[in-house]
Structure 1
Amino acid sequence: MRKFYLIGFLFLLSFDTLAQISFKMTAEAAAPPALDSAWFLRIAAQPWVYLAISGYIGAFFTWISLLRRAPVGPAFAAAHLEVVTVMFASFWIFGEQPDLPRLAGAGLIIAGIIVLAFSEKQQEAEAEHSRG
């Protein structure tokens, strides 16, 4: 079961990160933004937008599969690890420099996910002990 969660969350993070990076690539390629048909056509002509949509579809189906087995609280928290993966992908791909507040925020997100995971594990152990 643990392997299922690990693989599932890696897929979820990959799909979510792919979608966000692809949206950024689309935005840069279709600039400047305007509410006219030419802008929408520029967006539609970008292959990145279709990769972004594919990323969202992949994330949706992965998330639904994970929720069949994973407890919602920790799963929802772990799904937000995408904030961290997008930040590092943006550094690598776009050269966006993470500053100290962003790095601290990423650390807090990771710490929160770890705390929730341990809390869930403790609750499972207590529930099994009370059944036992």
Structure 2
Amino acid sequence: MTTQTVDSGWLHGRLGTLVLWALLIATESAGQLFTKVAGDQLGQMDFTWQWLADVARNPGILAAIASYLGAFFVWMLILRRSSLSLAFPLSSLVFVAVLLGSWLGLGEHISLLHWVGVVVIIGGIALLAEGEEH
């Protein structure tokens, strides 16, 4: 019996890398949004046994944990094919996705300064990616 390596199948090549990055951004962002919604539902953090039981049973918390676990495994796959010096800064796209998710999904107000920050993040990533190609 043979096993497939990480570099075979749909994960191979540029398309596979793009899919992995999309999965990482989606799972990390979802984890943040689930945590926010669940935290709002749970209310004050009093750290009683009842509160901890409520945390353990909260669907948002469970979804956040699943999202972070998925993100961990996707991150491991990304690091197998990318340098950490490029991959880690690229992961800042999660900040942009969380901002968009909190604006579109949670109705949060996003200031002009935050939008400027998004442009700076994307510009920085473009510079890093350009430098990596040369």
Fold-level similarity (TM above 0.5):
yes
Structure 2, unpaired ranges of 5+: 1-12
Please name the residue that 2:61 is paired with: 49
Q: How does 1:1-132 map to 2 (within 5 A)?
A: 1-122=13-134
How many residues end up aligned between the 2 structures? Answer: 122
Please tell me whether the aligned partners of residues 26 and 49 of structure 1 are also in contact (alpha carbons under 8 angstroms). Answer: yes
Deviation, 1:45, is: 2.0
The root-mean-square deviation of aligned C-alpha atoms, in Å, is 1.0
Please tell me whether the aligned partners of residues 20 and 52 of structure 1 are also in contact (alpha carbons under 8 angstroms). Answer: yes
Letter matched to residue 85 of structure 1: A
Letter matched to residue 52 of structure 1: A
TM-score (norm 2): 0.87
TM-score (norm 1): 0.88
Letter matched to residue 82 of structure 1: V
Q: Distance in 2 between matches of 1:108 and 1:86?
A: 16
Deviation, 1:38, is: 2.1
Deviation, 1:73, is: 1.4
**Higher helix content, 1 or 2:** 1
Structure 1, unpaired ranges of 5+: 123-132
Please tell me whether the aligned partners of residues 5 and 70 of structure 1 are also in contact (alpha carbons under 8 angstroms). Answer: no
Deviation, 1:54, is: 0.6
Letter matched to residue 23 of structure 1: T
Identity of aligned residues (%): 30
Deviation, 1:97, is: 1.1
